[in-house]
Amino acid sequence: MICDRIREQIPECLAGRLDPAAREKVIDHLDTCSACRADMAELGVVWRGLQSMPELEPSPAMRTRFMETLAAYQEGYQEAQRRQVYAAPPKRWWVGLWPAHPAWQAAFSAVLLLAGVMGGRYLAEPRPVNTINPELAQMRGQIENLRQLVTLSMLQQDSPSARLRGVTYSYQVTQPDQQVEQALLHAVNHDSNVNVRLSAVDALAKFGNNPEVRRAMIDSLPVQDSPLVQIALVDLLVQFNAKDALPALRKLAEDKEANESVRQRAASSVQKLEASH
Amino acid sequence: MQEVRAGNVGKLETLFDRYNRPLFRYFMHLTGNRAASEDLVQEVFFRILKYRHTYQAETSFRAWMYQIGRNVYMDQAGKRKGEVAMPEDAGEFGSSDTLQDRQVQNKQEAVLLRRALAALPREKREVLVMSRFQDLKYDEIAAVLKCEVGTVKVRVYRALRELGTRFFELGGERAS
């Protein structure tokens, strides 16, 4: 029992955190107990060994990322505060409208009461509050920014599965962002893994309103070496109803070196786009 | 932290500069993975920002921060069930310039110790790391783990004891 209590104090003793009286007690016990003495010796070796283990430093990029996040947060917070709608101070313009005669005052009050009752009926339904919660807006901006950062970071990973996750993550970016868009286009054109390219094509569907994205996809058609990716691009262009893709699609449909399935899909897409006039 | 809590969020930079390294090392000991540890540090500071209103001035900021850190780690660990925190870069600690200057035997011992630490159950490794590397006092660890100081005392000893046993087993010898 005494040994248990003494041994529980060994880490503090080794760390030099025991007060002198407690330390004295431990030393006294060690003088008389060889088992605890052996325990202290063993744990002392381990404790000092831990001390000699070198500590790693985080990469400088970690601080950069933090500062970007903090700046985005501050920006969102300030923006939300600027937009906050404050109640305007009451004006006294109505004072002059108040009649002086008591009879008119009573009539005016009755009219106001009636108007209040009638107005209340129409206004009884709940309406959206015309104020912006600064904290909520700030958090939304922050989360959006983080999503973009995560997406961009994952799309640059060495591992194809990480890049795939990055593409999937891009679906959560609700605000169209040029950097994310460019990163996805880069993945479509240059990623070494066909699955990543295919996923990136799908992810670009949400950027269909952007003519630059459509143009980049059209340009990508002839340079893709994977028929699967080509077909995915063709389908997406039809989905966008991208008539400016017609020349490229006709060319692909007639390209003898292209994959048979790709040629057929391109030809049917040309028909669909032409029919949609 | 009180200034951050009051809305001067720019002051978080000072706290980041002061605590990012120890926090990163805490996560390194738990995950053995540099990239994951850096992500976890980011998440901790983001949560500090998000939940700054819940900070109480009379409590230790370090304990509060590690409490958040622990929650963040547990959340991540929950998502990666089945993964064991092993040092993917076991040699990384041993490759620093400081260690290269030492004797081969010391190097081997450091590697063995790191392996033994990584092999400890998470609860034991965590309490030992907080006590030994983060230099947290027992009352701070008790606040993080939400337990009594006496419990922390017992846990630290048992963790150190098990680390010792594993270390000497790996080395094929016992001191004494």
Question: Which CA distances in Å does B168 have to A41, A45, A217, B91, B172?
Answer: 13, 10, 62, 19, 6
Q: What is the rounded average pLDDT of the residues A215-226? A: 85
Q: What is the rounded average pLDDT of the residues B109-119? A: 84
Residue A12 CB: number of other CB atoms within 10 A?
20
**Does residue A88 sit at the B interface (CB-CB below 8 Å)?**
no
B155 pLDDT tier (thresholds 50, 70, 90): very high
Distance CA A259, CA A229 (A): 12
**Does residue A35 sit at the B interface (CB-CB below 8 Å)?**
no
Domains and CATH numbers, chain B: 2-79 (1.10.1740.10), 94-171 (1.10.10.10)
A131 pLDDT higher than 50: yes
- CB contacts under 8 A, A 138-157 vs B, are 139, 142, 146
Chain B: closest CA distance from residue A141 (Å)? 13
Query: Quick one: pLDDT at residue B83?
Result: 43
Residue A241 is given by DSSP the state T
Strands annotated E in A30-144:
none
A228 pLDDT higher than 60: yes
- Provide, rounded to the nearest whole percent, the portion of chain A with pLDDT above 70: 88
CB-CB under 8 Å, A43 with B164: yes
Q: Which of A101-105, B49-53, B94-98 has the highest mean pLDDT?
A: B49-53
For residue B162, the chain A residue with the least C-alpha distance is A43
Q: What is the rounded average pLDDT of the residues B87-116? A: 62
Q: What is the rounded average pLDDT of the residues B140-154? A: 92
Chain B: closest CA distance from residue A50 (Å)? 7
B94 pLDDT higher than 70: no
B80 pLDDT higher than 60: no
Chain A: closest CA distance from residue B135 (Å)? 9
A54 pLDDT higher than 80: no
Of A160, A223, A169, A145, the closest CA to residue A192 belongs to A160
B176 pLDDT tier (thresholds 50, 70, 90): very low
Chain B neighbors of A17, CB-CB under 8 A: 137
Q: Which residues of A14-52 are buried (b: 16+ CB within 10 A; e: fewer)?
A: beeebeeeeeeebeebbeebeebeebbebbebbbebbee
Q: What are the CB-based long-range contacts (under 8 Å, 24+) for A223-227?
A: A223/A189, A224/A197, A226/A194, A226/A197, A226/A198, A227/A258, A227/A259, A227/A261, A227/A262
Where are the alpha helices (H) located in chain A, listed in sequence order? 2-8, 10-15, 20-32, 34-51, 60-83, 102-122, 134-155, 160-170, 178-190, 194-203, 211-220, 227-239, 246-254, 260-275
**Does residue A42 sit at the B interface (CB-CB below 8 Å)?**
yes
Two tokens, residue B54: 């819940």
Chain A neighbors of B132, CB-CB under 8 A: 11, 15, 47, 50-51
Choice between A173 and B156, residue whose per-residue pLDDT is larger: B156
pTM of the model: 0.52
For residue A65, the chain B residue with the least C-alpha distance is B42
A141 pLDDT tier (thresholds 50, 70, 90): confident
Q: What is the rounded average pLDDT of the residues B55-79? A: 84
Chain B neighbors of A57, CB-CB under 8 A: 21, 24
Chain A neighbors of B157, CB-CB under 8 A: 7-11
Q: What is the rounded average pLDDT of the residues A194-216? A: 83
B156 pLDDT higher than 90: yes
Of B71, B14, B73, B52, the closest CA to residue A66 belongs to B14
For residue A49, the chain B residue with the least C-alpha distance is B110
Distance CA A166, CA A155 (A): 5
Chain B: closest CA distance from residue A171 (Å)? 20
Query: Quick one: pLDDT at residue B105?
Result: 66
For residue B13, the chain A residue with the least C-alpha distance is A67
Q: Which residue has the tokens 């032409």?
A: A274
Q: What is the rounded average pLDDT of the residues B105-120? A: 81
The region of weakest confidence among A94-103, A170-179, A244-253, B9-18 is: A94-103
Choice between A241 and B94, residue whose per-residue pLDDT is larger: A241
For residue B8, the chain A residue with the least C-alpha distance is A74
Confirm whether the ipTM is greater than 0.90. no
Query: Quick one: pLDDT at residue A166?
Result: 79
A1 pLDDT tier (thresholds 50, 70, 90): low
A88 pLDDT higher than 60: no
Distance CA B124, CA A55 (A): 20
**Does residue A3 sit at the B interface (CB-CB below 8 Å)?**
no
CB-CB under 8 Å, A46 with B93: no
